[in-house]
Structure formats: structure tokens, C-alpha cells
Amino acid sequence: MNTPAQSLAFGAPGIEPRWTSSAKDGIGTAYHSASCIWFTLSHGIINEIYFPHVDSPNTRDLQFLITDGESFCHEEKRDLLHKTEYPEQNALLYRLTNSDREGRYRLVKEIVVDPHSSVLLMHTRLEILDEKLRGKLRLYALLAPHMKGTGKNNSTWLCGVGGRKLIEAQREDIDMSFGCTPDFTRRSVGYVGFSDGWQDLMDNFKMDWEFSEAVDGNIALMGEIDLSGGLEFTLGVGFGHTSHSACAHLLQALATPFADQREKYVSQWQRARARVDLSAHTSDGGSMMRLSQCLLLAHEDKVFQGAFVASLSIPWGDTKDDTDRGGYHLVWTRDMVQTATALLACGHTESPLRALIWLACVQAADGSLPQNSSISGEAYWKGIQLDEVAAPILLAWRLQQANALRQFDPWALVSRATRYLILHGPVTAQERWEEASGYSPSTLATIIASLVCAAEFARGKQDNFAADFLLDYADWLSAHLEEWTVTSRGELMVGRPRHYIRITPADPKKAVASPDPDNAVMFIANGGGKHHARNIVGGDFLHLVRLGVRAADDPVIVDSLAVIDHILKHDLPQGPGWRRYNHDGYGEKSDGSAYDGTGVGRCWPILTGERGHYELAAGRDPLPLIETIEKFANSGGMLPEQLWDADDLPDGKMKRGSPTGSAMPLCWAHAEYVTLVRSHKDGVCFDRIEPVYQRFAKGGTGSGIEMWTLAHQSQKIVPGKTLRLITDKAATIHWSFDGWMSANDLEMRDAGFGCWFADLPSDQLPAGASIVFTFLWEQGWEQKDFQIGVAASDQTLIPTG
């Protein structure tokens, strides 16, 4: 390798590095797994380039600086007008047109990834519309590395390989090579804020510096484009684990004409188009539908296949330093199951099956799944969310219904998860918004549906005993839903005191179960304050209808809808939107400044989709809400996590109905849209579990059993019900109905998947009686008595001993 004489840039280590805007206009990758590059776009330029994994950003941005050398220097992302187009259907091919505000010139760029190597390619055409600028415009490519997810401790230098003028950057075991066809005429590297190319050009509109090295800092690379032979050229950014591999990959990719690379890139994506034509069930001819399924597929890692991250964006990234990339580059089981389900709705089966098997490999021996994980499967945050434990069971059932499990047997995954749910539920340590513990309607809906699916799998194993046990537990949960999660004293809407609440607070570490939705008090995260739980509402209960646990016309459901519409609904220019819950603090502040731990939660497009599923279940047309979601997307077709739902702010800082600085695109939002479109085609919610719907929404199945576990120690049982004790290991139950004046022993039975149980004959006990019992384990006595009172259904007894 031939390296020029050293000329070290000044200003080390540069300014404190920052990430860039979360408001992406596009994301892309090659469909082929041989190419381990992903990229994002915003403001007309490339932002993060990821390598070698979907969670590993290595750049902050790549843009052009344009100058006439005398009177102006334009920064592409700030000074030009931007237009994003998709020139080919069913492909993540982008055409970016960035135009001078005075109409003097424009840049037309197309971006692809080499389908068979880790190289990003950007073909650019400069169109000069003002003849006075012909021969005067100078174009400079400015690239800011953030190798291995940080702008700190990066090093860069000029190099020559194979007679080509390249620029390299490196940190630890990742190397990046930057070049152009034709070659750069001049090159320089520097420290951001001091000796970088932006500082150089903005001074006098000329490139005065040609530093050959900048080490161990926040750096930027700049190359002058050779326009002497024409106004079209191709930039390339190649990656590898050595300098040689990065440079070789880059030059190999540049050796193939861009038109050929483009054709291969597009054809591979088009072969991955949706297997089910849903275009007729959209309001835009299927445009966003096609884009959404490509976006979902693109969020899967190519080495750790089956791992889908939540978003290739960093919420409020332009306000965050390198210590905070947020949690969106992680795998969230809930989000990934939503993505996999949406891909199933498109007719894809291979990616959803890979996702299920990936989850089976992440699942712990006790059946739990981490709150979120790296793509390699390592738990990141350590919380437990019961809906995430249950969700893979639903995915397994849907794959089975699609005859897509192939030779994978999900019973180990399913049985372990059900065991965990029964032994640790129904109180979840975190609900789906990761912020509160207790009895959550959406979590309970997911658990109930998953247990019915698990019973179906058990019957497939010819284990009717286990299947009946699982259905008994699901029936018990369903029978207690209103008691646990519905208030009769709501004060949010006159005439509607009885409705579902967001969550009934409870601590999963406190085993004594005494849920009180009427009187419990909760602290809301992100500065939301302290409130009576009965007056905090969200649309989480809609999962009960979506999955088939409750009918759409259930009176409590209908009243709850009226309440959330009164409190959470906002009419936006595109159509209705809903906030997650009242007093939500996760979002921009009222002045439009970034969320920093407190703020105001805004409308989520996801929730418009969830409402669309309810409308369908209620026999109404969801197409107006499908159209609303399509209009929520930005110019690049990306759906955000949140939308600004207040009045416009001055200077265009925030506009009503426009995306906020939250994550964009959010896979969950695109998955919700796709699934709603498929539901519209089918005339029934795609997520609905038919045996759940038949058992509960239509059949109204009740429960004659009261469940008791060490994690959830029920304090009452109504007359006529059997008491079922469930543990994680065998024991002898020592019990009495008369305060130990007499006693009986009962051996526990194996339910078939690691749960043991015994039924006490309490169904003949009158109100006012009490049940006392303890356990004789293999290692000895429990050393504690447990007591349950028999009460009328509207009473709660607190044990006296």
C-alpha cells in the first residue's frame, strides 16, 4: 500500500460527537445475505451506514458540499430542497433529487448496495441549470465516520491502492474505504469542528487543506469530485475487517458498471415481493403496502438471521451523544412478532419461521424471554414482560395454521413459555409500554390467547390432560378480566364510570393478590405524576377484541371506547390519532424541544391501526383508517413512532400531523399497517385466534376453578368454585376447611410441562368459610400456612392469619 507523506490534521480530538436526525426518509440494504450493509436517509443525504450487523452504525452522514468558489458554499442537507422517489416498485431503490433553492442546479442520486459484498454505491448526476455556473461549480463529498457506533477514537488517512485515490477510516476491527469513479482530484481528512472539510470550505469557498492523517478522534473525510470528464460519477463506501478487505471490496464493486449493480439490486428485491396481493385493499394502490413489506424484511440481520431490530433510527438522535443510541437497534420480542406476523400476512413464511427459531434459541430454560436482546441473543435490558413471553406462542400457532413450521417442532418453546406464564403471572413486571407493573388488559389478552394456542399444540401431541389444564387456566384469567382491570368509579367522562383502565398497579414481587382498579394509585413514568389508576386510560383493552377474548359489542368495551375517544383522540389533518394514555410523558416538550426524560406523549400511528382492527371486528369498514395511516407517512413513505398533535409551532419547528423526533421508520407501525390491510382483505382480524374467539367472544366460557400460585396468592374464592393450587414441583398438600381441627393430605399431579397441581374440594363451602393449607416438599415443610376466604362474588376477604 502506498501512503502519502504524513500531514497530521490539527484540532484533535474534535468536538463532542452527536448522532443525526431520527426522521428517516428511507432505509435500504441488499436483499441478498452476502451483503452486510444497511443505510438510512434523511434530508436528502445518507446518514448511518451499518456493518457488519443491522445494529452496528459506522457513519453519521455522507453528503455533498457545493460551491462556486466565490460567493456560496451549500451544504446539501441544510441548503437544498429535497425530493425522495422510488423509481422501481417492490425495491428499496431510492432516487434523491436535491435542488438549489434558486433553481440554478440540482443533484440526482440513486443509491444501492452491492448485492454480493459490503459496499454502498451512490450514482450521482449534477445538472447545471444556470449556464453562468457551468465550469465553475465544485463538488465535495463529506463523510463523517462513527465507527462501531461512536464518533470517538476514530482514525483516518489517505491511501493509494491499485493506483486509486482512496480514503480509509478504522476503529478496532472495522475498516472503511471511501472512493469514487472517477478518482477524487483532491482529498483531506480532519477533526470535526476544527480541520474538517466543512470548516475549510465555509471559510472562503475553497479547499485549502489536504491533511493526510487524523487519528483517535471525531473525524471527517472529504474528497473533491472530478467533473472534468462529465457530470456523472459513482461514490462508494466499502467495509471489511481489514484494510485490504475494505479496499478490495470497494474497488471490486466500482469495477462493475453502476447500471449492472442497480439491475441486480432491484431484481433481487422484486423476487421478494409479497406473495399475497393486497393492493386493492389500500387507498393508494398498494404503494405503501409494497414499501412496508420491504422495510420489514430489511430490518433482519444477515448473520444472526431471524433477528429483526425495532428500527434503524435513533430517536431524537441529533440531541444524543455516543453514550445513548436508544433501544431501537435491539430485538424486542413483541415488535419482532408483530413484524413476523405482518410478513405472514404478506404471504412470506421463511422470515417468520427464522424469527420463531431465533426466539426459541434466546428463550431461557425457565421459559422467560428478555425484555430485549442484541441480535446475537444477549439480553440487554433485564426486565420481564409477560406479553413478550406469550407472543412467540401466537407466532408459532400462526405459522402452524399457514403450514409453515416445516420440520421445526415448537413444543419446547411453547411448553416452557406457558409454564413461565402460569407460575409467574398474571401480574406483569412491565406492560407493553415498558413503564408499569400490574394487571394489564393487553398483556392478559395476549396470555389468554397464547394459552389457548398452547392447548391446541398439546392436543396435537395427544396430551389432552395438559390441554385441559391450560384451558382451565385461560378460562380463569378470562373470568377475572373485568374484576382486575375495569373500574366502576371512572371520573373521566360523565355517564361512563365503568371502563377498562390502562393498568391496575400491582407488584409482581408481592405475592398477595388484591387488585383494586377503583382505588389503586399509580406513578406514571417520564414525569407523568401520581394519579388514581381508575382515571388513567389507554387503548390496550382493544387487544381483547383483536385476539378474540371479548366481543366487539361487549358493553364494557363499547363504554371504554367512548372514554378513550373523549380523552386520547386527536383529529389530525390526515385523520384521527390516539395517544397511548393520558399524562404520558414520552415525547417532545410543548415547545417542540426533544424528549429528555420528560415531555408530552403524542399520537402513535400504531394506535390508529389498532382502532382500525376494532372497527373491522365491529362490522365497520377500516379503509378510512388505512387511508389515514398512509397519509401519516412522510415523503419517503416512512411511518413514525409519534406525530405532533398540537398546534403548529413557529418557524416550522413542529407541524400538526407531522412526525416528531421519535423513531422513524418504526417497524411496529409498518407491521400494524400491513396486518390491517390483510385483515381488510380477509374481512376478519388477521391476528384473531379462532379457538379463542369461539371459546370466549362467542361462547362466553366461564370458570369454575380459582387458581392459586406462590407468585399470585388469591385472597378470596366465591362459593361453588374449586381451588386449584399450582407449583413448580411436586408436593403433598396438607389442608383444612375447619381451622386445623381436622386435616387432609392430597398429592399434587404433574400437568405435563413442569407445572404441578392439586384441586381442593372447596366447591361446597359456604360464604364466610376459610381454607388453610401448606406444602410438604421433598426437602421438608413449607414452614408457613396459607389462607383463603370464601366470599360472595362482590366481596373481598383479607385473611386473618
CA dihedral sign, ordered 149, 150, 153, 156: positive
Residue 187: which residues within 8 A CB-CB, separation 6 or more? Answer: 158, 165, 167, 210, 221, 222, 223, 224
How confident is the model over 162-176, as a mean pLDDT?
Answer: 95
Q: What is the pLDDT of residue 773?
A: 97
Q: What is the pLDDT of residue 324?
A: 63
Q: What is the pLDDT of residue 801?
A: 27
How confident is the model over 177-182, as a mean pLDDT?
Answer: 98
DSSP state of 649: P
Residue 391: which residues within 8 A CB-CB, separation 6 or more? Answer: 333, 334, 337, 446, 450
Indicate if the pLDDT at residue 161 is higher than 70.
Answer: yes
For residue 712, what are the CA distances in angstroms to 192, 331, 715, 730? Answer: 57, 29, 9, 18
Q: pLDDT-based confidence at 319, cuts 50/70/90?
A: confident
Measured between alpha carbons, how far is 123 from 235 in angstroms, rounded to an integer? 6
Take residue 481 and report the three cell numbers written for it: 378480566
Residue with cell 397464547: 450
| Residues 219/208/250/136 CA torsion (nearest 10 deg) | 130
The overall pTM is greater than 0.85:
yes
Take residue 636 and report the three cell numbers written for it: 419517503
Mean per-residue pLDDT over the chain, rounded:
94
Q: What is the pLDDT of residue 651?
A: 81
From the list 557, 359, 582, 418, the residue with the least C-alpha distance to 492 is 582
CA dihedral sign, ordered 533, 538, 543, 546: positive
H or E element: which one contains 455? helix 441-460
Measured between alpha carbons, how far is 583 from 107 in angstroms, rounded to an integer? 45
Percent of the chain exceeding pLDDT 90 equals: 92
Q: What is the pLDDT of residue 439?
A: 98
Q: pLDDT-based confidence at 694, cuts 50/70/90?
A: very high
Q: pLDDT-based confidence at 19, cuts 50/70/90?
A: confident
Asked if 584 and 732 count as a contact pair (C-beta separation under 8 A), the reply is no
* pLDDT tens digits, 340-366: 999 999 999 999 999 999 999 999 999
Asked if 500 and 441 count as a contact pair (C-beta separation under 8 A), the reply is yes
* pLDDT tens digits, 739-792: 999 999 999 999 999 999 999 999 999 999 999 999 999 999 999 999 999 987
* pLDDT tens digits, 362-385: 999 999 999 999 999 999 888 999
Q: What is the pLDDT of residue 797?
A: 36
Q: What is the pLDDT of residue 20?
A: 80
Q: pLDDT-based confidence at 328, cuts 50/70/90?
A: confident
Tally of CA atoms within 13 A in the half-sphere of 91 that contains its CB: 24
Measured between alpha carbons, how far is 324 from 319 in angstroms, rounded to an integer? 10
Tally of CA atoms within 13 A in the half-sphere of 536 that contains its CB: 26
- The catalytic site residues sit at 431, 434
How confident is the model over 723-735, as a mean pLDDT?
Answer: 97
Tally of CA atoms within 13 A in the half-sphere of 227 that contains its CB: 18
Q: What is the pLDDT of residue 318?
A: 73
Burial class, 8, CB count within 10 angstroms (exposed 0-12 / middle 13-18 / buried 19+): middle
Measured between alpha carbons, how far is 192 from 144 in angstroms, rounded to an integer? 8
Q: Please give the full DSSP string across 525-568, using - where no structure is assigned.
A: TTTTEEEEGGG--BGGGHHHHHHTSS-TT-HHHHHHHHHHHHHH
| DSSP bridge partners of 576 | 571
Measured between alpha carbons, how far is 433 from 538 in angstroms, rounded to an integer? 11
Take residue 682 and report the three cell numbers written for it: 380477509
DSSP state of 740: T
Asked if 520 and 533 count as a contact pair (C-beta separation under 8 A), the reply is yes
Tally of CA atoms within 13 A in the half-sphere of 441 that contains its CB: 29
How many degrees, rounded to 5, is the angle at CA 584 between CA 578 and CA 586?
A: 100
Measured between alpha carbons, how far is 214 from 218 in angstroms, rounded to an integer? 9
| Residues 686/691/697/703 CA torsion (nearest 10 deg) | -150
Q: What is the pLDDT of residue 274?
A: 86
Take residue 561 and report the three cell numbers written for it: 371506547
Indicate if the pLDDT at residue 4 is higher than 60.
Answer: no
Indicate if the pLDDT at residue 796 is higher than 70.
Answer: no
From the list 242, 694, 764, 778, the residue with the least C-alpha distance to 456 is 694
Take residue 123 and report the three cell numbers written for it: 450514482
Measured between alpha carbons, how far is 254 from 168 in angstroms, rounded to an integer? 16
| 70 backbone dihedrals φ, ψ, rounded to 5° | -130, -45
Q: What is the pLDDT of residue 22?
A: 78
| 472 backbone dihedrals φ, ψ, rounded to 5° | -60, -45
Measured between alpha carbons, how far is 590 from 111 in angstroms, rounded to an integer? 37
Residue type, 1: M
Asked if 219 and 145 count as a contact pair (C-beta separation under 8 A), the reply is yes
Q: What is the pLDDT of residue 800?
A: 28
The crossing angle, in degrees rounded to 10, of helices 667-682 and 333-345 is: 40
Indicate if the pLDDT at residue 795 is higher than 60.
Answer: no
From the list 181, 186, 55, the residue with the least C-alpha distance to 121 is 181
Find the DSSP H helices in 157-227.
197-204
Q: pLDDT-based confidence at 216, cuts 50/70/90?
A: very high
Measured between alpha carbons, how far is 627 from 134 in angstroms, rounded to an integer? 45
What is the C-alpha radius of gyration for the chain, rounded to an integer number of angstroms?
30
* pLDDT tens digits, 71-99: 999 999 999 999 999 999 999 999 999 99
Indicate if the pLDDT at residue 647 is higher than 80.
Answer: yes
369 backbone φψ class: left, alpha, beta (φ>0; ψ -120 to 50): beta
For residue 454, what are the CA distances in angstroms to 363, 391, 412, 413? Answer: 16, 11, 11, 10
Measured between alpha carbons, how far is 622 from 615 in angstroms, rounded to an integer? 6
Q: How many CB atoms lie within 10 A of CB 468?
A: 14
Measured between alpha carbons, how far is 269 from 281 in angstroms, rounded to an integer? 22
| Residues 220/225/231/234 CA torsion (nearest 10 deg) | -60
Take residue 445 and report the three cell numbers written for it: 389478552
Find the DSSP H helices in 256-286.
258-271
How confident is the model over 9-38, as a mean pLDDT?
Answer: 92
Residue type, 221: L
Take residue 80 and report the three cell numbers written for it: 437544498
CA 358 to chain centre: 16
Q: How many CB atoms lie within 10 A of CB 258?
A: 20
H or E element: which one contains 336? helix 333-345
DSSP-based three-state secondary structure for 333: helix
Residue with cell 399457514: 402
Asked if 164 and 95 count as a contact pair (C-beta separation under 8 A), the reply is no
DSSP state of 229: T
Asked if 390 and 402 count as a contact pair (C-beta separation under 8 A), the reply is no
- Between strands 438-439 and 504-505, the pairing is antiparallel
Residue 783: which residues within 8 A CB-CB, separation 6 or more? Answer: none
Residue type, 401: Q
Take residue 348 and report the three cell numbers written for it: 412470506
Residue with cell 453519521: 60
| 609 backbone dihedrals φ, ψ, rounded to 5° | -65, -40
